[in-house]
Amino acid sequence: MHALTHTHLIINTHTNTGIFTMVKSHSYNIDTSREQNVNEDNSVDFYFVSRRQMEQDIEHNKFVEHAYYEGHYYGISINSIRKVINEGKTCVLIVAPQSIRYVRTSEIRPFIVYLKPPTADYMKQHWVEQKWIKVVECKYPALSL
């Protein structure tokens, strides 16, 4: 099972308790430098900020994690995490291992769960069973799955 699937399972299992919240669009927000679409609300779907503001915030380490995708910045700000904590909820983040050092502070002391990925052989078998891939024989063995 993928980390995101596990996370959604945890959150959906405890939906009525209201103790878990993900930091992501449509829950608690990700900052972005991209233009706001007509059907999106600032601070509801994303926090829309200027490219310059995102770059300054990145330079001042205001993000736990950030990325540049298709010409725009996206990032999970420390303020988004604080907002969740201040509401008395548990903030659930899916971050790259190298981002953990930015989450772990004297103010924010996370409970960290590492989900070890399955082996390549297991994934291959799973993908074949799910019919996501088809194994074909090839006269060039180095090119076959």
Q: pLDDT digits over 122-137, tens only?
A: 888 888 888 777 776 6
Domain-embedded: residue 122: no
Q: What angle do CA 86, 68, 28 make, to 5 degrees?
A: 20
Mean pLDDT of 108-128: 80
Domain-embedded: residue 119: no
Domain-embedded: residue 105: yes
CATH code, 33: 3.40.50.300
Structural domain boundaries, residue 34: 3-112
Which comes out higher in pLDDT, residue 121 or 23?
Answer: 121
* Count of other CB atoms within 10 angstroms of residue 74: 19
Would you say 32 and 46 are in contact if contact means Cβ atoms under 8 Å apart? yes
Domain-embedded: residue 133: no
The total domain count for the chain is 1
Domain-embedded: residue 130: no
| Per-residue model confidence (pLDDT) at position 120 | 85
Q: What is the pTM of this model?
A: 0.59
Domain-embedded: residue 142: no
Model confidence over 76-90: pLDDT tens digits? 888 888 887 888 877
- For a pLDDT cut of 90, what percent of the chain falls above it? 13
Domain-embedded: residue 18: yes
Residue 26: pLDDT band by 50, 70, 90 thresholds? very low
